[in-house]
Structure 1
Amino acid sequence: MSDVVDGLEGDLRSNGISVEALSVDERVDLTYLTAFPGARVNHQEMGRACNTFIDRAETGDWSPRRVEATVLRSDDDVLGSWHIEPEWITGYTEYRLSDEDFSERVLDTLTHEHEHEGETEAQS
């Protein structure tokens, strides 16, 4: 059996995303272990994951669908989650959404597991 990881998982890994689980059906469910296990989800790491989906859509290797991402600090410690809507990817690849518009939409979906404890962006 080959240890080579290809397809979507391979592309994510080659962009520095430590894939823990990946399911592709009606939507994509991605769980990854962050390389930045702080108090907040790392935005640059999110961007690398997003770029993987955008690149695959631009090359025709993937039909945009909702992406649900869960970010782990460690095996059983969820740091946060975020998602991408398929129309955002299509809008971006068709030049109807700018980098900033796309990023803002994705960042607006970001939730941190421990936000209910009163933590704010300024505190992290």
Structure 2
Amino acid sequence: MSFETNDTVLEQVGYRLMGQGVYFESVEHAGDRLEIEYETVAPGEGVPHRQIGRVITVFREAIEEGWEPTTIEARVLDSDAGTLRGTWRMDESWLYELERGDLSEVEFSGRVLETLEE
């Protein structure tokens, strides 16, 4: 796992996700967003939707603990073959809308899934 940041919060997020079958390969701050690349051990093809939810939940828990919200762009790799299974994005503004009550959990999830490319 390589980090282009010394942010201990990101390290903790990575450790929390290991138990969910998500293994960070890289995490980079790229301007106003966080680019993550992770391997999934989930069987099948494409990006497991439930796993996207788990990743977002762990980041949201970090935000509740004081970490600043940010846009996340994710690349998901197959752990066996190392091939790209897909990409997805979570926009920082959606988190603020969710917090204010301008967006429901279902709408939030729908927006994330609309960004999914497999």
Q: 1:31-74 deviations in whole A, cap 9, x for unaligned?
A: 1101214112101110011112222222322x222211000013
Secondary structure in 2 matching 1:111 = coil
Q: Give runs of ≥4 in structure 1 deviating > 4 Å.
A: none
Flag structure 2 segments of 5+ consecutive residues without an equivalent: 1-7
- Output the TM-score relative to the length of structure 2: 0.79
Flag structure 1 segments of 5+ consecutive residues without an equivalent: 1-5, 113-124
Contact 1:12 1:52 in 2 (8 A): no
Q: Structure 1 residues 96, 12: closer, same or farther in 2, change over 3 A?
A: farther
Q: Partners of 1:22 and 1:9 in 2: how far apart?
A: 9
Contact 1:83 1:110 in 2 (8 A): yes
Q: Quick one: which of 3, 7, 24 aligns to 2:9?
A: 7
Counterpart of 2:28, as a letter, is: S
The match for 1:116 is none
Paired positions, count: 107
1:36 aligns with 2:61: no
Secondary structure in 2 matching 1:41 = coil
Contact 1:28 1:66 in 2 (8 A): yes
Task: Please give the residue correspondences for 1:41-56 in structure 2 after superposition, counting only pairs within 5 Å.
Answer: 41-56=47-62
* RMSD (Å) for aligned C-alpha atoms: 1.9
Counterpart of 2:12, as a letter, is: G
Whichever of the two has the greater Rg, that structure is: 1
Secondary structure in 2 matching 1:82 = strand
Q: Partners of 1:33 and 1:76 in 2: how far apart?
A: 8
